[in-house]
Amino acid sequence: MSNLKLSEVRKSFGSLEVIKGVDLDIESGEFVVFVGPSGCGKSTLLRMIAGLEDITVGELHIGDVQMNDVDPSKRGIAMVFQSYALYPHMTVRQNMGFALKFGGMGKADVAKQVQDAADILGLDELLDRKPATLSGGQRQRVAIGRAIVRHPDVFLFDEPLSNLDAELRVHMRVELARLHKQLATTIIYVTHDQVEAMTLADKIVVLRDGIVEQFGKPLELYDDPDNKFVAGFIGSPKMNFLNAVILKVSATSCNLKLIDFNEVSFDLPVNGDGLAVGAQVSIGIRPEHFTQNADVEFSLTVDLLEHLGGQSFIYARSDGNETLVLETQDGRNIKNGDRINVGFDKKLALLFDANDMRVR
């Protein structure tokens, strides 16, 4: 178990810079999830930590040791890959014990370590089978077992559940959370699935174009995002952004008017010092924060309904043709084409300036 520190880390492939100065301090035992859209650099960053990609500039410390030039096998890490990467010509037992055997551990010790890991993961009956005869979930467990036997300081997971079906993914997610509690080891986990990120992580790193947009606890990111990208990326369905224009500003509040929503105007309790009158801004509202009889109200026309049983999602359009997504618990009586009056409480609205940065 070890802490991990990235200081001003950069990565370039030729003239293309893909990681643009990442600083992270991950505490010992934390479960940290890297999320971001495709191509944001999250897997590259993980591979740099693993030693599978060189660090162009910056420093990586695991514990107190600088690891930039240390061989992957000597970094105290173990990695679980998206495709599991089990050696197809070896049995489960050989796969799990391969690194230990290769590292010079005695036969009896290897057998004991493999057995212990198999007990933890319920792999006993699979030990003499080849990977080709296992299901996706079983392969995933073997891949995790192969990582566990090494007793690493840091576990690295690269989208480990993305090849599983929805049901198995939920099951493995719970298993992973349980495993983290049991082993109490530092885990860095890459995913593009924000449900995995929200449910598994102690802390989330949101990446975009090789830059850390925000690093914090899942609910902090959900409730208090630093910018429009994080606000939009965390949460499903994503946050609604309503265009608005500033009418008046002060140090304690800001008066603004919604464009495309019947020109409704209202005050928001934020520090408006950095805002100019007439500036275009965005108001962020989560789908579940729309209510009736709220502080700010307007009318919408229902375009489409999705009933999930416990809740419904309403896709509705304003008179100015702005589309919003609303979540409601009692939407079964609403029909396509209905006019509905909805609104939001000002304390739940988030304000983003013209540069998409949060105004608090």
Binding footprint of other proteins on the chain (CB under 8 A)? 47, 50-52, 71-74, 77-79, 81-83, 85-89, 98-99, 102-103, 132
The rounded distance, in Å, linking the Cα atoms of 139 and 126 is: 10
Q: Could you tell me if 137 and 176 are in contact, meaning their C-beta atoms sit under 8 angstroms apart?
A: no
Question: 237: cis peptide before it, omega within 30°?
Answer: yes
The rounded distance, in Å, linking the Cα atoms of 174 and 178 is: 6
Q: How far is the CB of 40 from other proteins (least distance, A)?
A: 20
The rounded distance, in Å, linking the Cα atoms of 286 and 350 is: 9
Question: Closer CB to other proteins, residue 85 or residue 294?
Answer: 85
Question: Closer CB to other proteins, residue 19 or residue 285?
Answer: 19
Question: Closer CB to other proteins, residue 131 or residue 272?
Answer: 131
Question: Closer CB to other proteins, residue 99 or residue 183?
Answer: 99
Q: How far is the CB of 140 from other proteins (least distance, A)?
A: 13
Report the number of secondary-structure helices (H) and strands (E) in the chain: 8, 21
Phi first, then psi, for residue 341 (nearest 5°) are: -100, 120
The rounded distance, in Å, linking the Cα atoms of 352 and 360 is: 9
Question: Closer CB to other proteins, residue 6 or residue 86?
Answer: 86
The rounded distance, in Å, linking the Cα atoms of 86 and 100 is: 15
Q: Could you tell me if 56 and 10 are in contact, meaning their C-beta atoms sit under 8 angstroms apart?
A: yes
Question: Closer CB to other proteins, residue 47 or residue 93?
Answer: 47
